[in-house]
A and B are shown apart, each in its own frame.
Chain A
Amino acid sequence: MKIGLEVHVALPTKSKLFCSCSSISDEPNSAICPICMGFPGSKPMLNGAALSQAINVANALNCKISESTSFVRKVYFYPDLPKSYQITQTQGAIGGNGSVELESKRIGIRRIQLEEDPAKIVREENYTLIDFNRSGVPLVEIVTEPDISSEEELREFVFALKSILYYLGIDIEKELKVDLNISVAKERVEIKNVTGLRNLIDAARYEIKRQQELVAKKQKVESETRSYNEKAMRTESSREKESDEEYGFIYDPDLTSYSTKSASVQKPVYAGKIAREYGKKYGGAAKTILELIQFDKRSLELIDYAKAKWPMQNIINVVEVLKKYGHMDIPDEKFTRLIEIAKSGTPVNEQVLKQVIKGAAVETSNVGSTDIDKEIKAMIKANQKLLKEYDKNPKVFNFIIGEVAKKLKANPKDVSARLSSILEKI
């Protein structure tokens, strides 16, 4: 089975791709101007921020980035397209030849291109309205190779992509339009314009099953364009052949070619890779780590801060609790304290969390062979004389606590509690 995607994602720029209108607006037809309405006489000017974001997407998807990039006109007539052509890219695209790494597979990325979004069509029962606020919003189109070979892989790919984009500050769910190509047998079926992640997975599941059933019955799968009916949750034939499409592309002579060199490129974050690596190196289930960090930058920050000092399982537990009760903005020392508590064996729950955030002491219960115990015992062993004096001189007590706390960077309260319990036994 071969599945390939053309994913269109809106870029979070302040203004539109070719004019200074806001790309976010509520009131229909409020963020419009002669340029994004295609008024005669207006000309497009490229938004550098959109170009820069698209370059970052290409970079994060391991693409080869073109030195300079240019635009074409794709001509077709539809009420949502004010100029009756869309400014998009073909040969002069931002980049291509990239990949997304999954757990056990690499999915090829054929091309990354930047283009303008058409207007939004609002269909009412007896009429249709057009909201041009969306006209000209920058979209990045990500075209994959047909390397995906199951629904599971599709899901993994889509979430990996969503995570990579999330770390670039791009929310895939804000506006997602996908053309889905599926061939179970030889014939390719394209499902056009599937919107949203959930529909994408549902449409793929339906279409895979449909084609599998045809193949099982030894019937021919028609090579065609289909659309996804959200309500009925099934794909339906659009009764058009892809070969009928004729866009008459020409380069857009209102725009020039643009260097990609000056864009500042962010280091991409691959959550899946990090989760697998941390799992191996620090312990803890890669899957759990991934769940925490895939769409949460702060989780990754907290884990990164603590990972070399504490057992991964304790860190995970604490981060999960912080997340659950909405305290991800916790300062470092309180976060450390929570991990210490977790490590001591006391479960970190809402109650404990509240105490630590307030700065109150927390009783820990574990009497096991913690690092503190080891260190205290070593101190006692090395200073037998001190042991004899301890009930006469309380300063000795404080000296041991101080030394141990300093050495382990531990909380003196914890050391004190451990020391008392050890001394009682002696």
Chain B
Amino acid sequence: MGVISEFRKMGKNGSYHQTLIKDLKRINEKLQFLGALNESLTEGIPFTVKDNICVKGFEARAGSKILGGYVPPFNATAVERMLAKGFGFLGKTQMDEFGFGSFGINTQVQARNPFNPDKVAGGSSSGAAVATAVMKYHVAIAESTGGSISNPAAFCGVLGFTPTYGTVSRYGLIDYANSLDKIGIMGRSGDDIREVFDIIKGADRYDSTCVDTKVKGEGKKKLVVINQLMKGIDEEILSSFDSLLSQLGEMGYKVEHVSIDSITKAIPAYYIISMAEASTNLAKYTGYKYGLQRESFTEKYNAFFTGARAAFGTEAKRRIVLGTFVRSESVKDKYYTKALQFRTAITNKLGQILKDAFIISPTMPITAPDFEQAAKLTPLQTYAMDSLTIPPNLSGLPHISFPCDYKRRMPVGAQLITGHFNDYALLDFVSEWEKRFEYRFKYSLGAI
């Protein structure tokens, strides 16, 4: 039974929430994973929301200085649907600026890993993973563009579910790359994620890319490992993964190794498309309508805009410059158009495999690194961290990261991918896995 059902049975109100908020504030001093907090919450199953998803009346910075002070006048559809079902909005969770990062460090407030505060929580949904790892009765609404749910879920030892692109409305999501952005869920059990998914999915009159296609749960007994993705992975992760595969073998799954040469193109294709789209999305931040407000209006507008846009962080600036470049007329065919072609080719290839199999891999090539280590990586080394999470994200395929081992007291995650709109199969899989494997959590705030 998931925590949602358990909580409902207990029917906690009033002082429960106030105590939880007090405890949260205390632990947040150490782990720094929270944004705006709903201090007046008195009822409902608590849920947190990644800071790039709008909640009416609460500041949404999306990890950026340039959005400081932006209080959306509307709820994201996913939030609206959660509130309508009686869930209680608890607060916003920290993230890399606009989702640009793998460690939660590309922002002013850097969330820390609950297993070891010297280590990063992952990214970009860093705060959502920490919130899930520290609270018992809670679910997190997060978002993934290239791995921003799987990655921190693996680093913090929780479940991170990214549904098929287009099943959950993006209305109210502050865009990173619209053709890749997916609102998803973090939780502590397959049952909880299923319940929340059923609430937030479904067509929305405010998002043209969101559809009502029926979600299936066709289980597969074949697990495919893609050889090219298994390169550059830490030894200890590989040993955890081997042990996972043999346990799954005992559960009746058959493992098959396949080679897909084109899969290595997924990283450049992803970064080209996501940066091209991001550079158009970030164009709107010009310092006079919302968020950061410039005080002087005496400059010419170009100088004025430039002044406002100085507030972007380094990674955001890098992506604006690269994204603007790859879509410029003289090189567009060479980069942007080609990347779209690779996306289609890779999606078709993965689709064929997924007809009768799941694809399985570790989620991240390492366990959560120290802040110092993470900060030393070059942008290219950081982008390579996403090699396992990018393929399903690029292709809009549903995937879930689940804890499968612990190494040196840090969690190790594995990632399961299935075909479009077969999302329930992933949740069925983790429900089965949970019967065998016990997840460990260092904190369980709010537990009774």
Contacts from A to B (Cβ < 8 Å): 34, 37-46, 73, 75, 77-79, 82-85, 127, 246, 248-250, 252-256
B74–A41 touching, CB < 8 Å: yes
Q: Which 7 A-B pairs have the closest CB atoms?
A: A84-B283, A253-B179, A253-B178, A41-B54, A248-B327, A40-B174, A41-B172
Does B76 sit at the interface, judged by CB under 8 A?
yes
8 A Cβ contacts from B266-286 to A: 276-277, 279-280, 283-284, 286
Mask, B43-58, CB within 8 Å of A = 1, is 0000000000110000
Closest to B210 in A: A43
Stretch binding the partner chain, chosen from B201-209, B355-363, B386-394, B423-431 = B201-209
A41–B207 touching, CB < 8 Å: no
Partner of A40, one of B62, B179, B209, B336: B62
Question: How far apart are the CA atoms of A39 and B60 in the complex, in Å?
Answer: 12
B329–A250 touching, CB < 8 Å: no
Does B302 sit at the interface, judged by CB under 8 A?
yes
Contacts A77-B283, A79-B301 given; does A254 touch B328 at CB 8 Å? no
**List of B residues within 8 angstroms of A79 by Cβ:** 286, 288, 301
Partner of A39, one of B283, B288, B290, B324: B290
Contacts A77-B301, A77-B305 given; does A43 touch B171 at CB 8 Å? yes
| A41-B74, A41-B172, A77-B301 given; 7 more Cβ-contact pairs under 8 Å | A34-B73, A37-B289, A40-B67, A40-B70, A42-B172, A248-B279, A248-B332
**List of A residues within 8 angstroms of B133 by Cβ:** none
Question: How far apart are the CA atoms of A35 and B76 in the complex, in Å?
Answer: 13
**List of B residues within 8 angstroms of A254 by Cβ:** 175, 178, 207-209
**List of B residues within 8 angstroms of A256 by Cβ:** 208-209
Mostly helix, strand, loop or mixed at chain A's interface?
A: loop
B280–A85 touching, CB < 8 Å: yes
Contacts from B to A (Cβ < 8 Å): 53-54, 60, 62, 67, 70, 72-74, 76, 170-175, 177-179, 205-209, 276-277, 279-280, 283-284, 286, 288-291, 297, 301-302, 305, 324, 327-329, 332, 336
Chain B nearest CB: distance from A236 CB in Å?
20
Chain A nearest CB: distance from B223 CB in Å?
32
Closest to A249 in B: B327
Most buried by B among A34, A41, A44, A75: A41
Question: How far apart are the CA atoms of A252 and B177 in the complex, in Å?
Answer: 10
Question: How far apart are the CA atoms of A252 and B171 in the complex, in Å?
Answer: 15
Question: How far apart are the CA atoms of A312 and B302 in the complex, in Å?
Answer: 62
Contacts A250-B276, A250-B327 given; does A43 touch B283 at CB 8 Å? no
Question: How far apart are the CA atoms of A41 and B76 in the complex, in Å?
Answer: 8
A-B contact pairs, 22 of them (CB 8 A): A34-B74, A38-B289, A40-B54, A40-B70, A40-B284, A41-B72, A41-B173, A42-B74, A42-B171, A42-B172, A43-B207, A75-B283, A77-B302, A79-B286, A83-B283, A85-B284, A248-B279, A248-B327, A250-B327, A253-B209, A254-B208, A255-B208
Question: How far apart are the CA atoms of A73 and B207 in the complex, in Å?
Answer: 17
Mostly helix, strand, loop or mixed at chain B's interface?
A: loop
**List of A residues within 8 angstroms of B205 by Cβ:** 45
Contacts A40-B284, A73-B280, A77-B283 given; does A34 touch B301 at CB 8 Å? no
Chain B nearest CB: distance from A48 CB in Å?
12
B72–A40 touching, CB < 8 Å: yes
B60–A78 touching, CB < 8 Å: no
Chain A nearest CB: distance from B431 CB in Å?
33
Contacts A34-B72, A75-B280 given; does A46 touch B208 at CB 8 Å? yes
Question: How far apart are the CA atoms of A154 and B8 in the complex, in Å?
Answer: 73
A84–B284 touching, CB < 8 Å: yes
Question: How far apart are the CA atoms of A43 and B73 in the complex, in Å?
Answer: 14
Question: How far apart are the CA atoms of A78 and B288 in the complex, in Å?
Answer: 12
Question: How far apart are the CA atoms of A290 and B171 in the complex, in Å?
Answer: 51
A43–B170 touching, CB < 8 Å: yes
Chain A nearest CB: distance from B25 CB in Å?
27
Closest to B77 in A: A43
**List of A residues within 8 angstroms of B301 by Cβ:** 77-79
B336–A250 touching, CB < 8 Å: yes
Chain B nearest CB: distance from A89 CB in Å?
15
A41–B174 touching, CB < 8 Å: yes
Question: How far apart are the CA atoms of A43 and B76 in the complex, in Å?
Answer: 11
**List of B residues within 8 angstroms of A253 by Cβ:** 177-179, 209, 277
B208–A39 touching, CB < 8 Å: no
B280–A38 touching, CB < 8 Å: no
Question: How far apart are the CA atoms of A221 and B431 in the complex, in Å?
Answer: 75
A250–B277 touching, CB < 8 Å: yes
Question: How far apart are the CA atoms of A255 and B277 in the complex, in Å?
Answer: 13
Chain B nearest CB: distance from A129 CB in Å?
11
Partner of B290, one of A40, A75, A252: A40
A82–B328 touching, CB < 8 Å: no
Chain A nearest CB: distance from B144 CB in Å?
16
Chain B nearest CB: distance from A118 CB in Å?
13
Chain B nearest CB: distance from A384 CB in Å?
83
A248–B329 touching, CB < 8 Å: yes
Question: How far apart are the CA atoms of A34 and B279 in the complex, in Å?
Answer: 20
**List of B residues within 8 angstroms of A44 by Cβ:** 208
B284–A83 touching, CB < 8 Å: yes
Chain A nearest CB: distance from B248 CB in Å?
36
Chain A nearest CB: distance from B55 CB in Å?
10
Chain B nearest CB: distance from A116 CB in Å?
14
